[in-house]
Amino acid sequence: MLNGVNLNLLERRDPAVYGGLSLPELEGKIREWASQLGCDVLCRQTNSEGEYVDWCQELGESADGLVVNAGAWTHYSYAIRDALELARGPVVEVHLSDIDNREEWRRHSVLADVAAHRVIGKGPDGYREALEFLARA
């Protein structure tokens, strides 16, 4: 579970758009859902694009699948896209908000073509859907 830029301040962002949880609260829900599905989960968040790329490379080699919310990097980071392309397991792209119906610049994802599944605009429950997808994969 790789969360990107600005998700460390999730509780300070518009709750109508982002769900109103803090990152630790969201990670608690993710761990609970993973446990219910019989999955092990590792949650990480960074504001450093290079560190995010390193994690994509590292976990792409060892994890059975990746759930990624790259935040704003989704829209322009080909470095993250290229690292995810090398993952041995499926990649699920998650966005709390409905990026397809927001500002024009948010509507394009450079990660979409390497994602086996995308979950957009379902708030925190989108992470559950992502885990369910990986549990079935």
Residue pLDDT, tens place only, 16-44: 888 889 999 999 999 999 999 999 999 99
pTM over 0.85, yes/no: yes
Q: 133: which residues sit within 8 A by CB, 6+ positions away?
A: 90, 92, 116, 117, 119
What whole-number distance in Å separates Cα of residue 126 and Cα of residue 118? 9
| CA torsion angle 76 66 125 38 (round to 10) | 180
Q: Quick one: DSSP state of residue 3?
A: E
Task: Tell me the catalytic residues.
Answer: 18, 95
What is the rounded average pLDDT of the residues 109-117? 98
pLDDT tens digits along 75-94:
999 999 999 999 999 999 99
What whole-number distance in Å separates Cα of residue 134 and Cα of residue 16? 27
Percent with pLDDT over 70 in the chain: 100
- Residue 93's alpha-carbon distances to 12, 34, 136, in angstroms, are 22, 17, 16
What is the rounded average pLDDT of the residues 121-136? 96
**Antiparallel, parallel or unpaired: β 117-120 and 91-95:** parallel
> Is the distance from CB of 74 to CB of 95 less than 8 angstroms?
yes
What is the rounded average pLDDT of the residues 47-51? 98
What is the chain's mean pLDDT, rounded?
95
